[in-house]
Chains A and B, each alone.
Chain A
Amino acid sequence: MKTKDLVYIALFAAITAVLGLVPAIQVGPVPITAQTLGVMLAGAILGARRGFLSQLLFLVLVAIGLPLLASGHGGLAAFTGPSAGYLISWPIAAFVVGLLTERFWGRYNLAWGILANVVGGILVIYAIGVPVLAAIANLSPEAAIVSGALPFLIGDGIKAVLAAAIAVQVRRSYPVIETPQRAVALR
């Protein structure tokens, strides 16, 4: 791993932290925090490995006692609450988004970007977050889905589109993921 990769990892951990400062956007009854946008961007711009490490670093920063989650929360308490599963899923989500983005990289556009972000940034997060919520809060699977997935769907959909739109533009002006050799040869 090169120094540059380390700096990118630190940078995207910091970006997810800064997105916690963005005032929550009110769309419907549930406020959307912008932080999972950071998770998707980390995967879509850095790729799987660096994206994973950057969000893992973010969780380390939270765990060592910095108030970096939306509305100033943080510390180990965040990992014992009902949303622990969602938090823990972030590095994995960034990894999956990155993996798909790398696969689509030669023909990356808004549609492929949205697909990668929806699978990695929404499905993976719910697949880990909802069962953990059900276990911690003693809820039935149906109740966990109703309280832990449905209210966030619209907001997360908007973030997936937004992250893809941003990633497409950043790819055009400052690509970080390298174009695979095969794709170059085919062009």
Chain B
Amino acid sequence: MLALYVPRASPVHRTPAGWKLLALAGLSVLVFAVPTLPVSGGAVAAVLLLGLAVAQLPAGVLLRQARAVLWWLVGLFVLHAVLTDVLTGTLTVLRLLALVLAAAVVTATTRVTEMVAVIERICRPLEWVGVRPARIGLVIAMALRFIPLIAERADRIREAQAARGGLPRGLRGLATTVVPLLVQVLQMAHTTAEALDARGADDEPLPRRRRRDR
């Protein structure tokens, strides 16, 4: 699976993932709390400098992320220019652009495994309500394995249907593929759960006191 990470040897890449996420949260608070042109414009410039010059990301990486919201931004600008004024439009667009680019920089400079580690750390307090952080990593790994598997099963079902005389098109086609697909993958989930249990996945963790002794 292709992640959005771009490997480089830069200070931005070396910064711990938790710090980068905090910085992103800080930036979003800043641009919304101080809605002025210098702040929003400065944020866009700073993020571009950080992403392109310091982290040495190819411009295409940031461009691809920005393109996802480009038409939104253009439409938004026009809407504001007509309904309110050009200044509000520019401000809104710059603010959104700064956040989207900053988030893209964080994503492109942080490995998926680092992000998973941060999430497990954030979830550690949840241990008190019965969530086991170690299981989060397991569930993420399972979901990633299931994605290509489901796509493959869907292809196989469509091939089988085509071999038996034509594919129903459109919405009907989607429904006739999805129902057998869901039943198949639900059965697969059942087998996976049994396999995991057989390998001890359902073991309750040791009681707290015991664990401290270890």
Interface residues of A (CB under 8 A from B): 2-4, 6-11, 13-15, 17-18, 21-22, 25, 34, 41, 45, 57-58, 60-61, 63-68, 71, 73-83, 136-140, 143, 147, 158, 162, 165-166, 169-170, 173-174, 176
Q: List 22 A-B contacts (CB under 8 A).
A: A4-B189, A6-B138, A6-B139, A8-B189, A9-B139, A10-B142, A14-B143, A14-B144, A18-B150, A61-B143, A64-B119, A65-B110, A65-B115, A74-B107, A136-B96, A138-B76, A139-B76, A143-B83, A162-B175, A169-B179, A170-B182, A174-B183
Listed residue (A6, A71, A75, A77) with the most chain B CB atoms within 10 angstroms of its CB: A77
- A64 touching B115 in the complex, CB below 8 Å, given contacts A13-B143, A80-B102, A140-B83: yes
Q: Are B69 and A81 interface neighbours, CB within 8 A?
A: yes
CB-CB nearest in chain A for B28: A80
Report whether over half of chain A's contact residues are helix, strand or loop; otherwise say mixed: helix
Cα A25 to Cα B172 with chains together (Å)? 12
- A82 touching B174 in the complex, CB below 8 Å, given contacts A61-B144, A64-B112: no
- A11 touching B185 in the complex, CB below 8 Å, given contacts A74-B4, A136-B96: yes
Report whether over half of chain B's contact residues are helix, strand or loop; otherwise say mixed: helix
Known: A166-B182, A173-B183. 14 other contacts (CB 8 A): A3-B196, A8-B186, A15-B182, A34-B174, A57-B143, A60-B119, A60-B136, A63-B115, A64-B112, A65-B112, A68-B147, A74-B4, A75-B104, A75-B108
CB-CB nearest in chain A for B174: A162
Q: How many residues of B contact A (CB 8 A)?
A: 70
User: Of A8, A17, A83, A158, which is within 8 A of B147 by CB?
Assistant: A17
| CB under 8 Å from chain A, chain B span 80-112 | 80, 83-84, 88, 91-92, 96, 99-104, 106-108, 110, 112
